[in-house]
Amino acid sequence: MATVHGTDIDIPTPDGIADAYLTHPDDGAPHPAVLLYMDAFGLRPHLKKMADRIAAAGYTVLLPNLFYRGGRAPLFELPEFIDPAERPNLFESITPFIFALTPELAMSDAEAYLSWLAASPLTTDGPAGVTGYCMGGNIALRTAGTHPTRVAAAACFHGGRLANDAPDSPHLLAGNITAELYFGHADQDGGNPAEQIDHLEKTLTAAGVRHSGGIYPGAQHGFTQADTSAYDAEADKRHWEDLLALFARTL
């Protein structure tokens, strides 16, 4: 694993400036680009550590604050260890930011993030990898379907509403996807029920999309997030193995 260099940066978008974290191997060379989409708890130290771990495997990683329209991160106060059971009102602060980030806005931002990565001297030529967590997993799938020439691989871990009944459900973009996809579903996740997982699988298969993954037994929604009560060390270990294997074979 390489040593990495991380720094806070600003990314221009059509709607303003998105604060972000950029990390890459500290060797002065360009590396394949990876876009990391946060979960609803936002850009914070744990996610920066995750970005650093991907960078140490040989990638230039951009981790944007998806809620930048509401201000620079952190937008709400979080404890070092996040346990929603002890902070039952926490999501009252977060939910407005989630609903404000419409699919249209998220994909406008995706264009800005991917364009910035493509233009950076720190990245190699070619499409990027994308990985997303919780709400970020939904956006990762949507990004692969909206910007197919820019995405070679997309991973989604404990994502929700991936194949829902809404007219803008991300699974409806399957016919556009050229990337290889990976899904790590939590089997204790009410936001991603078995019928949606099955519907997603059938849709991707019918569209001829290369995809793999499956259900992580015993895992809760948020199982990769070590600073939360949902963390599952065994499932997280599998997540890292599967994510880095996806990037190794596609980027």
**Per-residue pLDDT, 85:** 84
**Per-residue pLDDT, 45:** 97
CA-CA distances (angstroms) from residue 208 to 190, 202, 204, 249?
Answer: 28, 10, 6, 19
Question: Do β-strands 16-25 and 4-13 pair in parallel, antiparallel, or remain unpaired?
Answer: antiparallel
| Sequence-ordered list of residues with C-beta below 8 angstroms from that of 229, at least 6 positions apart, any chain | 81, 82, 83, 84, 85
Residue ranges, the chain, pLDDT below 70: none
In order of their start, the domains of the chain are 4-250 (3.40.50.1820)
| Amino acid letter, 56 | A
**Per-residue pLDDT, 186:** 95
Q: What is the DSSP letter of 56?
A: H
52, 221, 236, 239: the catalytic one is 221
**Per-residue pLDDT, 91:** 87
pTM exceeding 0.95: yes
**Per-residue pLDDT, 129:** 98
pLDDT digits (tens, 9 = 90+) for 110-149: 999 999 999 999 999 999 999 999 999 999 999 999 999 9
**Per-residue pLDDT, 24:** 98
**Per-residue pLDDT, 68:** 98
Buried-exposed string 117-156: b where 16+ CB fall within 10 A, e elsewhere: beebebbeeebbbbbbbbbbbbbbbbbbbbbbebbbbbbb
**Per-residue pLDDT, 35:** 99
- Rounded distance between C-alpha atoms, residue 200 and residue 20, angstroms: 31
Active site residue 134: yes
**φ, ψ dihedrals at 102, nearest 5°:** -70, 160
What SS3 state is found at 40? Answer: coil
24, 46, 52, 134: the catalytic one is 134
**Per-residue pLDDT, 94:** 95
Active site residue 221: yes
CA atoms within 13 A on the CB side of 107: 17
* Nearest CA-CA partner of 112 in 146, 141, 138: 146
What SS3 state is found at 149? Answer: helix
Q: Which residues are 63's β-sheet partners? A: 21
- Rounded distance between C-alpha atoms, residue 55 and residue 191, angstroms: 30
- Rounded distance between C-alpha atoms, residue 1 and residue 80, angstroms: 27
What SS3 state is found at 200? Answer: helix
109, 189, 236, 242: the catalytic one is 189
Active site residue 211: no
